[in-house]
Amino acid sequence: MRTSEGVEWGLHCCLTLVWVGGAEPVPSARLAAVFELSPTYLNKVLQRLTRAGLLSSTPGPRGGVRLAREPERITMMDVVAAVEGPDPLFACAEIRQHGAGAEGAAPREFARPCGVSTAMRRAELAWRRELSGRTVADLAAATPAASVARIRANYARLAGTSA
């Protein structure tokens, strides 16, 4: 089990949009150039963020994507859920209800979820809570100012060459 590569892409792109994106939309191709990523696949990732309502996209020349709301209101959990999908980490298949071990069991016995599922869900909840507690703005604030300045300068140069 491994999280998609797209999660890292999405988070870094959101950060970049915090720094360089004002009201002007940023083309996904330019974001791909910033991180040297596959432009078309990054486009696909940004599509998911857009469908999730985290980004808003504008077509046409001078188009691109920009944050749909303030970075303080975009949590890491939002980004992860948008890219990875809404499925939980652990999908309980209820194997306890099948096979010879379950024969003769009262149906009401399975009304409550099994302990395995509950415990896995509890752990997953801790993960989600941690991700929900940190926003894109927090990540931006924790980045050294020198790095931010460099990224802004490099981006401006990139935008100047219209790449």
Partner DNA sequence: GGTTCCCTACTCGGATAGAGTCTGTCCGAGTGTGCCAGG
Partner DNA sequence: CCTGGCACACTCGGACAGACTCTATCCGAGTAGGGAACC
By CB under 7 A, name the binding residues for DNA: 1-2, 4-6, 25, 27-30, 38, 40-41, 43-44, 46-47, 50-51, 57-65, 84-85
CB 10 within 8 A of CB 45: yes
- List of E strands, 33-156: 55-58, 64-67
3-state secondary structure (DSSP) of residue 62: coil
| Span 89-128, contacts to its own copies by CB under 8 A | 89-93, 95-96, 98-105, 109, 114-116, 119-120, 122-124, 126-128
Closer to its own copies by Cβ: residue 70 or 110 = 110
- Could you say which of DNA, its own copies, none residue 44 binds, taking C-beta under 5 to 8 angstroms by partner kind? DNA
- Could you say which of its own copies, DNA, none residue 54 binds, taking C-beta under 5 to 8 angstroms by partner kind? none
CA–CA gap between residue 143 and residue 66 (Å, rounded): 20
Closer to DNA by Cβ: residue 1 or 111 = 1
Q: What's the one-letter identity of residue 6?
A: G
Question: For helices 5-20 and 145-160, what crossing angle results, to 10°?
Answer: 80
> Rounded to the nearest 10 degrees, how much is the dihedral formed by the CA atoms of 123, 125, 126, 132?
150
3-state secondary structure (DSSP) of residue 135: strand
Residue ranges that bind its own copies, judged by CB under 8 A: 1-5, 7-9, 11-12, 15-16, 33-37, 76, 84, 87-93, 95-96, 98-105, 109, 114-116, 119-120, 122-124, 126-131, 134, 138-139, 142-144, 146-147, 150-151, 153-155, 157-158, 163
